[in-house]
Chains A and B, each alone.
Chain A
Amino acid sequence: MTIVFLTMSAVTVLGAVLAVTLRNLVHCLLALVLFFLGIAGHFFLLRADFLGAAQILIYIGAVAVLILFAIMLTRNITGTEGGRGSLGGAWWLGVGIAAALAGLMCAASRRSGLAEKLPYGATEEGVVKEIGRLLVTDWVVPLEIMAVLLTAALIGAVVIALEEERKR
């Protein structure tokens, strides 16, 4: 439990708490970005440097922008209208369920001993080479399935946009 780990955790938890309690939706999104940064920091702490950089690249560079677009297209320009108070009525129920789920996942991952079973570890030069090697040897089928899925999503987006054009 070093200083760095505590700082990172504090930043992450602060971002998460602000993301669910703030009133303005865009402020919630900024808090979520802070949360993503904290998670990236945790990845760097665990020596998973590729994952940390990918977290910044994908989550902050793309997902946050996507959420901003969604907010902008569904709300008015300020993002403050609509919805009651931010936490809702029985917030203690949500907290309880979340705590129970988190405890369940912690216990399950600790009980299963996944860390000892997997021989893949981070080396001194980082984990990129290992990830690359595994993706094309042991895990090539999930890679190809992901590629097909992404291609399908891309084609679907193009088809939707094309249909809208033709309908006009």
Chain B
Amino acid sequence: MSNLLGKGLIDGLVVTAKNFVGSYFDGNRKDRLFTYQYPEERMKLPENSRTFPFLVYDGTPDQLRCTACKICETECPPQCIYIVMERDANGKPLQRPRVFDIDISVCMQCGICAEVCPFNAIKMDCDFERSKHGRFEDLLVHLPELLKSNEYYHQIKSAEATRVDATRKPTKKPAAGTKPEKI
């Protein structure tokens, strides 16, 4: 009876009907009804997902890893990074940025800045909820918003952060306006 006329059509209808009825009795398992009630629940993003860059700090925001070497500014293809190095009272450059602006309306999320940074200071975030109300000034992200802790880095990309931590040598950054300390 497998090639009874119209059997394929009826089989399809039976499958759909079973699915429909079963969807009410299987509970709210995410593998059954896979709707995520955004914004109350969000999907877990994979580790390699990336949106916009952020600057990593160890411990306090003062101890950011960035030394304002400007390699990421040079390598950025659409040139959306603007860095000004901090200088102390005598004009001597301290190894930290005073201004670090990324224009996220220009940033194309290629991740090249994260690839080329020799200090593992700038990494790619996976936060996609970046909408703002303005189109120009609101999308220029400054240094305070870019700083996120190493714990946050571990939280979003634990394997990568562990790998980075294993290869890094810990250094202490000079505070703004003081002489650099030797370890």
Question: Are A and B close enough to touch in the complex, i.e. CB under 8 Å?
Answer: no
